Amino acid sequence: MRRGRPGPRQSGFTMTELIVVIVVIGLSAAAVLRALPLGRAGAPTAAQITVAEQLAQERMELILGTRQTLGYLLINDPCPGVQKPCTAVTGYTLTVTGVSPVVSWSVDANTNHFRVVTVSVTGPTGHVLSTLTAVLGNY
C-alpha cells in the first residue's frame, strides 16, 4: 500500500439533491401561477379604464362649458340624473362633487372664491376607475 496524499475531496451537490430542489421550485411555481388569476378576476381591464377616463373627461368638459356660458356663479352639472345631453354607459356610475358649494380662501385682505370640482367614475367591478379634479376661480 502506498501512503501518499489523499485524493482531492469532491464538493458540490448530488444528483438527488438537485432533483429535489427542481421539484420543490416547480411545485412552488405551479401554486403561484394557479393563484394569479384569482387576484386579477376583480381587476378592471384596460378597456374599462379607458372608457372611464373618457366619461370623466367628457363630464368635466361639460361642467367647464357651463362656466364659460353661464358664468362662475351658475356652474353646475348639466347631467344630474338626466340622460341629455349626457349619455350613460351601462355599468358605469359618475359622481360629481363641488359644483354647488363655494369655498372661500382668505388671502391677505381679499377673499377669493374657488370651487374644487371632482368627477369620479366607478366601473362595472365596483372600483373607482378614474378621478378628475379641477380648481375653478372666480376671476
Number of domains in the chain: 1
Stretches where the chain sits below pLDDT 50 are 104-105, 107-110
Task: With respect to residue 78, please indicate whether it lies within any of the assigned structural domains.
Answer: yes
**Burial class of residue 93 (count of CB atoms within 10 Å of its CB; 0-12, 13-18, 19+):** middle
> Residue 36 falls within a domain, yes or no?
no
Asked whether residue 16 is assigned to any structural domain, the reply reads: no
Q: Is the entire prediction scored with pTM above 0.75?
A: no
Look at residue 19 in the predicted model and tell me its pLDDT. 94
**What is the pLDDT, as a whole number, of residue 109?**
44
Give the pLDDT confidence score for residue 34 in this predicted structure. Answer: 83
Q: Looking at the domain assignment, is residue 70 inside a domain?
A: yes
Q: How far apart are CA 21 and CA 27, in angstroms?
A: 10
Q: What range does the domain containing 104 cover?
A: 46-137
Distances (CA, A) of 35 to 21, 49, 50, 98, 126: 21, 24, 27, 42, 22
Residue 11 lies in a domain: no
Q: Would 14 be classed as within a structural domain?
A: no
30 in a structural domain: no
CA distances from 116 to 9, 42, 123 (A): 76, 31, 23
pLDDT at 62: 86
22 assigned to some structural domain: no
Q: Which alpha helices (H) appear in 4-131, and where do they start and end? A: 15-40, 46-70
What pLDDT does 24 receive?
95
